[in-house]
């Protein structure tokens, strides 16, 4: 189960990063072209929203069943940068990133101008994307 969750979390990460990037560009173009915000635009943003939430759920499950997740939370582990990234920084920053993405999506659903809706999506999704990229354990992910 653990190895399967690891592969799912790693594979889904590619989809989440691609979806957030595509939605960011799509919303930025929508805002700059001053076009109407349609139901299609909301659904496109919803895809990245849902994928990021599924990734968070899989990550949280993995965190608690993994031998290197929750069990690493100790004073000694906090002195090791790799252990600190795995046990604290990666989960905490990614939870914050998903909260930011959720705020952006929720704000875009409220009544307002189309530019404000697109802006809400591209700004908040970009912040979430940068936060996620900043805490990916690149050494273990690409290695």
- Using one digit for the tens of pLDDT, what is the confidence trace for 14-53? 999 999 999 999 999 999 999 999 999 999 999 999 999 9
Could you tell me the residue ranges of all domains in the chain? Answer: 2-142
Residue 89 DSSP label: I
The whole-angstrom separation of Cα 63 and Cα 31 is: 38
Percent of the chain topping pLDDT 70 = 97
- Distance (Å) of CA 48 to CA 24, 57, 59, 72, 128: 10, 14, 16, 30, 11
112: left (phi over 0), alpha (psi -120 to 50) or beta: left
43-68 pLDDT, tens digit per residue, is 999 999 999 999 999 999 999 888 77
Q: What is the mean pLDDT of the chain?
A: 91
- pTM (2 decimals)? 0.91
Is residue 143 predicted with pLDDT exceeding 60? Answer: no
Q: What is the pLDDT of residues 80-112, one digit of tens each?
A: 888 888 888 899 999 999 999 999 999 999 999
d(CA 36, CA 39): 10
Going by C-beta distance under 8 Å and a sequence separation of 6 or more, which residues neighbour residue 101?
Answer: 20, 48, 49, 52, 124, 125, 128
pLDDT value at residue 80: 82
Residues 50 and 37: their CA atoms lie apart, in Å, by 19
CA distance 67 to 103: 32
């Amino acid at each position: 189960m653990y190895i399967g969750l690891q592969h799912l979390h790693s594979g889904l990460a590619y989809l989440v990063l691609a979806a957030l990037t595509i939605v960011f560009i799509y919303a930025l173009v929508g805002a700059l072209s001053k076009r109407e915000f349609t139901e299609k635009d909301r659904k496109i943003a919803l895809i990245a929203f849902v994928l990021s939430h599924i990734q968070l759920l899989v990550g949280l499950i993995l965190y608690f069943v993994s031998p290197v997740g929750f069990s690493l939370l100790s004073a000694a582990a906090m002195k090791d940068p790799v252990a600190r990234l795995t046990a604290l920084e990666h989960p905490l920053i990614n939870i914050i990133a998903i909260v930011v993405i959720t705020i952006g999506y929720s704000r875009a659903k409220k009544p307002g101008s189309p530019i404000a809706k697109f802006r809400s999506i591209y700004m908040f999704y970009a912040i979430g994307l940068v936060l996620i990229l900043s805490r990916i354990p690149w050494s273990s992910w690409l290695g």
